[in-house]
Amino acid sequence: MADYPLLRKVSRCLRQWDFAARCVLFQNGDHLELLDILDPQGECRALGVAVDLGTTRIVMRLVDLSSREILSDTVLNNPQISVGSDILTRIHHASTDEGAEELKAMVCLAVDDGMETLCLQAGVSTEQVYVVTVSGNTAMTHLFMGLPVDHIIREPYIPVTNTPGTRRADLFLSNTHPEGRVFFFPNIGSYFGGDLISGVLYSGIYRREETTLLVDVGTNAEVVLGNRDWLVACAGAAGPALEGGVSSMGMTAGSGVIDRVSIEGEDFSVGTIDDLPPVGICGSGFIDLAAALFLTGMIDAKGKLVESACGARYTHEHGLPALVVVPGEDSGTHGPITVSQASLDSLVRSKAAMFTILETIVMKVGVGFDDLDRIYVAGTFGAYIDPESAISIGMIPDLDRTRYEKIGNSSLEGATLMLFGDRYMDEADAIRDRITYVELNVDQDFMIRFSGAKFIPHTDPDLFPSVTIPKPKE
Amino acid sequence: MADYPLLRKVSRCLRQWDFAARCVLFQNGDHLELLDILDPQGECRALGVAVDLGTTRIVMRLVDLSSREILSDTVLNNPQISVGSDILTRIHHASTDEGAEELKAMVCLAVDDGMETLCLQAGVSTEQVYVVTVSGNTAMTHLFMGLPVDHIIREPYIPVTNTPGTRRADLFLSNTHPEGRVFFFPNIGSYFGGDLISGVLYSGIYRREETTLLVDVGTNAEVVLGNRDWLVACAGAAGPALEGGVSSMGMTAGSGVIDRVSIEGEDFSVGTIDDLPPVGICGSGFIDLAAALFLTGMIDAKGKLVESACGARYTHEHGLPALVVVPGEDSGTHGPITVSQASLDSLVRSKAAMFTILETIVMKVGVGFDDLDRIYVAGTFGAYIDPESAISIGMIPDLDRTRYEKIGNSSLEGATLMLFGDRYMDEADAIRDRITYVELNVDQDFMIRFSGAKFIPHTDPDLFPSVTIPKPKE
């Protein structure tokens, strides 16, 4: 059935076009919706935008729905950061109607800006955008939609909806075709969001015969394990530990940020983004650094800086031990680039949380790490991690490196896939229905495993046979 | 799936009401729509309004959807009359976007006013109105919806839509629940409107084993013939003749209007609405009058006034013969109430058109009037016609009077029925699909039959055996 505004113009257009038209149809579940009719002699372009709605960043992609060509990409900061960088502060802010409205407006405006940027880059009109697919965690999706979020963080953690579904775009956005639609990925409760469903969809693990582990490492860490017969997921409870860790671990990737570190003797060799003088260090660079520090004995198994091994690089910051990675004369900031003991402690907690989560989920279903045919590493942060370094510090299991496969921003990729066919809607629902969500209770067992993982690489070195543990220099 | 505004309030309401709620659901074809949730401790009332959207009058009825109780009724003039009393003038007016917008606004405002009146009368809130069902002819439905009407009157007479369907009420009306829906009856082309589908639905002729004729006499005349196996309809082509006739025939019913006339010798006995002194004569009164004039010889078989038989009542108006029905001293206007020869001529044309339409449709399907088990007479005008008088002037076939059954405003009744269940939506669609629409071509055969019917009761008196044809007094 045609929407009302279209009904008003269809009779005139058809006569003008000699009763020929191209139709823009939207398959919404079991029914087709006629969004627009186009002059068959004209350009006839229908575009879609995929949105990875992150807590920190919003990544957007413009796609031609007919040719499936990617026309442009853009990234913007989530402006809700001005209210609070963590989701908890935003949820508190949204507890009043005005606050919720404000947060909704912020993010909708940002996405609208993104739409404009994307279309400008591609030289197309925002009026040609008929579909927007949004993949975000449950809280972000609710905040975008202006839905109450109070109960996402209150027991028993029930979001307003697990199936936000397809809505008219004009409820949220201005920069689409007036009859445009927004599809929101479904979520499983408060702690397993649409971004992860989107990631599972893109990874295809739900279709594989072999058991695969999908690890999404972004601001948070979520894990899905399974194959075409079963799927188990966990996230959340241990997340905050890692989240604090990852975000304190360094800056987000950008020009001049160190993303690769190796140490040869006393020489630190750093790689930076765009090969500019170093200005800081990002998460993946930090993991590289920690691995190198450990393998050269500059930090011990507890992650503590070993003064004697660090030599001249050992220093103090705010009264705590620290290490100079790049001296002031070589940096882009003209000051030394350092890592503090506090950051290293935080990294150890994060990697321990990560490993414990992986260990726990694998144990829960009675398989071993060796049974994992493949490990997909997704997420903005995960995309840059060097498995070698991550294994060296005991963050991820010590498996053949070829089993690790980076799949990039799987949330954005899943949202892109969703633009190409309603069958993916059914698949997203099917994934949602099939996943068994395991609450990672931070119980005594978990804490025991967590304590064991707080050593580099682990209290049980047999778990990391390929890591050569250095002999203490002392 | 819940509409967006409801999604925004559902989580708070449920907690406030201790997780109990009554739902207002709307079955729209194959899917349920959740329109509202109500406090189960509260009033929990869901109302509906049926609208008979006539060219001249808009009749509305407020109904409690649970108890099916009729709460109030109201009638208003269609304000589009200020643009033109006939639909053609309005269609011309709507040829510009501004004109169409103006006509839409007029009728939407009127219906909004009606909603307020209905709810005030019943002591309820317009916010409790969740469904509005609109039964109107194709042009009126298009004008209400603000759809282009240009092609309704241009060959090949294709309306924008035959299935206007269910729409959000807020596209047209303000005085409903914000999530209210408006259902529009489907139509069959430009000349067979939703009001007739609604009438067929209410009459039930499509479910009867016996063949039934449904005659709807309003501003226009439409006919449906059939049973549970087949349905044939016609309307339109011969309509304008009758329409001009009916509307020139007198005023619409109202206080003091003559609706019954009988003549005993020289005495005219008139009945008026509300028993007030007569101020005019309406259609049904005019048919009574014509029948009595014919049976007493005051008009001849051609409908011409016979001066010698009329006596003192014979007069002239604007140079044409006329007859005084009520002398000035007895009238409510202090002037005489007359009928002119022109009105009588017009009535003869109208009744001839009516009879010819009935004769034609019956002939087309190869049945005779005698095969008609029942004749339903519907419509605001039809409701008041005395079959005895209508037969006397040869307007309707001379059948046993018990076969005639008045079913009132079948368009409004059908719209009321539609409020009570989605199965009627399916039935309306089924009726629409089953009716064979017969274009009443005004060809030579039709004109020959029409000429025969332009005598009272007919050139062939055998068609009206029960009518005693008076001997000329001359």
Which element (helix H / strand E) includes A104? Answer: helix A97-122
Beta-carbon contacts of residue A197 (< 8 Å; ≥ 6 apart): A135, A185, A186, A187, A188, A414, A428, A431, A432, A435
Question: Which residue of chain A comes nearest to B97, CA vs CA?
Answer: A8
Residues A215, A213: Cα–Cα separation, whole Å: 6
Hey, how many other C-beta atoms are within 10 angstroms of the C-beta on A206?
A: 21
Q: State phi, psi for B73 to the nearest 5 degrees.
A: -135, 150
Pairing status of strand A337-340 against strand A374-378: unpaired
Cβ atoms of A173 and A146 closer than 8 Å:
no
- Which chain A residues are Cβ-neighbours of B15 within 8 angstroms? 151
Task: Say if residue B26 is in the same domain as residue B55.
Answer: no
Cβ contact, residue pair B7, A151, below 8 Å? no
The pLDDT assigned to B70 comes to 97
Q: Is residue B428 part of a domain?
A: yes
Backbone angles phi, psi at B19, to 5 degrees: 60, 30
Residue B472 lies inside a defined structural domain of this protein: no
Q: pLDDT tens-digit profile of A152-161? A: 988 888 999 9
Distance of CA B368 to the CA centre of its chain: 26
Residue A470: pLDDT band with limits 50, 70, 90 = confident
Domain count, chain A: 3
Distance CA(A106)–CA(B175), nearest Å, equals: 33
Phi, psi of A428 (to 5 degrees): -60, -40
Q: Do A7 and B145 touch (CB under 8 A)?
A: yes
Q: What is residue A384's DSSP assignment?
A: G
**B14 and B109 part of one domain:** no
pLDDT at position A248 = 43
Task: Tell me, yes or no, whether B105 and B237 share the same domain.
Answer: no
End-to-end CA distance of chain A: 78
Write the CB contacts of B211 (distance below 8 Å, at least 6 apart in sequence): B225, B226, B227, B367, B371, B372, B373
Give the chain A residue nearest B158 (alpha carbons): A11
Q: How far apart are CA A63 and CA A71, in angstroms?
A: 5
B7 and A147: CB-CB below 8 Å?
yes
Contact A167 B1 (CB under 8 A): no
Joined together, the tokens standing for residue B468 give 């005693």
User: Residue A121: which CATH number?
Assistant: 3.30.420.480
pLDDT for position A249: 47
- Alpha-carbon B22 to chain mean position: 37
Q: What is the pLDDT of residues A216-265, one digit of tens each?
A: 876 667 899 999 999 999 875 433 334 444 444 455 667 888 888 999 98
Which two tokens mark A37?
A: 């009719």
- At residue B447, φ and ψ (nearest 5 deg) are -65, -35
Range of the domain at A7: 1-43
User: pLDDT above 70 covers what percent of chain B?
Assistant: 94
Cis peptide bond N-terminal to A40, omega within 30 = no
- Do the beta carbons of residue A299 and residue A305 sit within 8 Å? yes
CB-based contact A4 B171, cutoff 8 Å: yes
Give the nearest partner residue to A11 out of B10, B15, B151, using CB atoms: B151
Does any domain span residue A193?
no
CB pairs under 8 A between A and B: 51
Domain shared by A242 and A369, yes or no: yes
The alpha-carbon gap from B311 to the nearest alpha carbon of chain A, in Å, equals: 60
Q: How far A208 CA sits from the closest chain B CA (Å)?
A: 32
Q: Is residue A136 part of a domain?
A: yes
Spatial CA neighbour of B384 closest among B285, B456, B245: B285
Is the domain of B400 the same as that of B332?
no
Same domain for B52 and B179, yes or no, is yes
CB-nearest to B146 from A8, A12, A165 is: A8
pLDDT, one tens digit for every residue, chain B (474 residues): 678 888 888 989 999 999 999 999 998 888 889 999 999 999 889 999 999 999 889 999 999 999 999 999 999 999 999 999 888 899 999 999 999 999 999 999 999 999 999 999 999 999 999 999 999 999 999 999 999 998 998 888 899 999 999 999 999 999 999 999 999 999 998 888 999 999 999 999 999 999 999 998 766 678 999 999 999 998 754 333 344 444 444 556 678 888 889 999 889 999 998 899 998 888 788 899 999 999 999 999 999 999 999 999 999 988 899 999 999 999 998 899 999 998 899 889 888 988 998 998 999 899 999 999 999 998 766 777 889 999 999 999 999 999 999 998 999 999 999 999 878 999 999 999 999 988 776 678 888 999 999 999 999 989 999 998 887 655
Task: Using the Cα atoms of residue B317, residue B323, residue B324 and residue B325 in order, give the sign of their dihedral.
Answer: negative
On whether both A349 and A392 belong to a single domain, the answer is yes
**pLDDT tens digit string along A336-349?**
999 999 889 988 98
Contact flag B160-A30 (C-beta cutoff 8 Å): no
Residue A297: Cβ within 10 Å count = 17
> Average pLDDT, stretch A100-125?
97
The residue of chain A with its CA nearest to that of B149 is A11
Query: Same structural domain for residues B373 and B287?
Result: no
Cα(A266)–Cα(A309) distance, rounded to whole angstroms?
10
ipTM of the shown complex? 0.76
Residues of B in contact with A30 (CB under 8 A): 30
Instruction: Looking at the structure, tell me whether residues B234 and B362 fall in a common domain.
Output: yes
Output the pLDDT for position B137: 92
Contacts of B99 (CB under 8 A, 6+ apart): B93
> Do B171 and B96 share a domain, yes or no?
yes
Q: Rounded to a whole number, what is the distance in Å from the CA of B171 to chain A's nearest CA?
A: 8
Contacting residues of A for B12, CB less than 8 Å apart: 148
pLDDT at B247: 40
What is the CATH classification number for the domain harbouring B443? Answer: 3.30.420
Cβ partners under 8 Å of residue B442, min gap 6? B237, B238, B450
Cα separation, B195 vs B205, in Å, equals 15
From A4, A15, A151, residue closest to B11, measured CB to CB = A151
| B310 falls within a domain | yes
Nearest by CB: A165 against B1, B8, B165:
B1
Residue B234 and residue B218 in one domain:
yes
Rounded to whole angstroms, how far apart are CA atoms B294 and B470? Answer: 8
**Does residue A338 lie in a domain region?**
yes
pLDDT at B240: 39
The encoded tokens of residue A137 equal 């965690």
> Is A194 a domain residue?
no
The last residue of a domain, from among A150, A184, A218:
A184
Task: Judge: A4–B161 Cβ closer than 8 Å, yes or no.
Answer: no
Cis peptide bond upstream of B156, omega within 30: yes
End-to-end CA separation in angstroms for chain B: 78
Structural domain includes residue B323 = yes
Q: What is the average pLDDT score of chain A?
A: 90
CB pair distance less than 8 Å for A171 and B8: no
Cα–Cα dist A77/A57, whole Å? 4
- Residue count (chain B): 474
- Cβ pair B148:A7 closer than 8 A: no
Residues A64 and A159 in one domain: yes
pLDDT of B245 reads 40
Nearest residue in chain A measured CA to CA from B5: A147
Mean pLDDT confidence for A261-273: 90
Asked if the Cβ–Cβ distance from A146 to B171 is below 8 Å, we say: no
CB atoms near residue A276 (< 10 Å): 12
CA distance, residue B168 to nearest chain A CA (Å):
9
pTM beyond 0.80: yes
* Residue A145 with chain B: CB contacts under 8 Å: 4, 7
Whether residue A471 is predicted with pLDDT greater than 80 in this model: the reply is: no
Encode pLDDT of B249-275 as tens digits: 455 667 888 888 999 988 999 999 889
List the beta bridge partners of residue A61. Answer: A50, A73
Lowest pLDDT segment from A309-313, A454-458, B258-262, B438-442:
B438-442
Q: Give buried/exposed letters for B125-160 (b at 16+ CB in 10 A, else e).
A: ebebbbbbbbbbbbbbbbbbbbbbbbbbeeeeeebb
In this prediction, residue A110 carries a pLDDT of: 98
* Shortest CA gap A360–chain B (Å): 34
Give the nearest partner residue to B8 out of A10, A30, A146, using CB atoms: A146
Q: Which residues contact A308 (CB under 8 A, 6 or more apart)?
A: A473, A474
Nearest C-alpha of chain A: how many angstroms from B426? 16
Query: Is there a contact between B147 and A7 if contact means CB atoms under 8 Å apart?
Result: yes
CB A356 within 8 A of CB A449: yes
Q: Is the pLDDT score of A209 beyond 90?
A: yes
Kindly tell me the burial class for residue A381, based on how many C-beta atoms sit within 10 Å of its own C-beta (0-12, 13-18, 19 or more): buried
